[in-house]
Amino acid sequence: MKFLADAMLGKLAEWLRILGYDTVSASDLSILDDDYLLDIAEDEGRILLTKDRGLHERARKEGVESVLVDGEDVEHQLAFLVREGYVELDDVPSLERCPRCNGVLKPVSKSEVRGLVPMGVYMSQDEFWACSNCGQIYWKGSHWKRMKEFVERVRAIIST
């Protein structure tokens, strides 16, 4: 599934990318006009994610698949999407998409990142990924554990 998150759901867009979902965020676009968002969703076959009831209803009338996202914080929003069957929490984090720009992540050799990551990271890590779009480099650092803990909190919300 491919998503387009409106400007109110920027953090959710980032988490969908972490989960491996191709997600464009309206916050990343230079034009935030509703017509433009609907055109992108339709042209690219993306599901529009929004908290704006008016935009949601307009999308539905125009034949654009749209989800009116429930939840005040990103944990509850993500739990909502899982419950509704739009996303799964299988391989978390996925290392497929760049959380910053939605580019595709590619494995890179340790030698390729020398001088691009802190020396402590370089010395303690053996696996690295780079975004094919923005060049950001990723590794399984201490943030990895925090991401897994976040997903466990989402799973707890789903089970209640």
Q: Are residues 7 and 61 in the same domain?
A: yes
Read off the amino acid at residue 102: N
Question: Is 7 domain-assigned?
Answer: yes
pTM of the complete model: 0.91
- Structural domain range at position 110: 105-159
Question: What angle do the packed helices 34-44 and 53-61 form, to 10 degrees?
Answer: 50
Q: How far apart are CA 67 and CA 132, in angstroms?
A: 29
27 contacts 47 by C-beta, under 8 angstroms: no
pLDDT of residue 54: 95
pLDDT tens, per residue, the chain with 160 residues: 999 999 999 999 999 999 999 999 998 887 678 999 999 999 999 999 999 999 999 999 999 999 999 998 999 999 999 999 999 998 777 889 999 999 999 999 999 999 999 999 999 999 999 999 999 999 998 888 899 999 999 999 999 8
Based on the fold, state whether residues 126 and 77 are members of the same structural domain.
no
Residue where a domain terminates, one of 83, 113, 143:
83
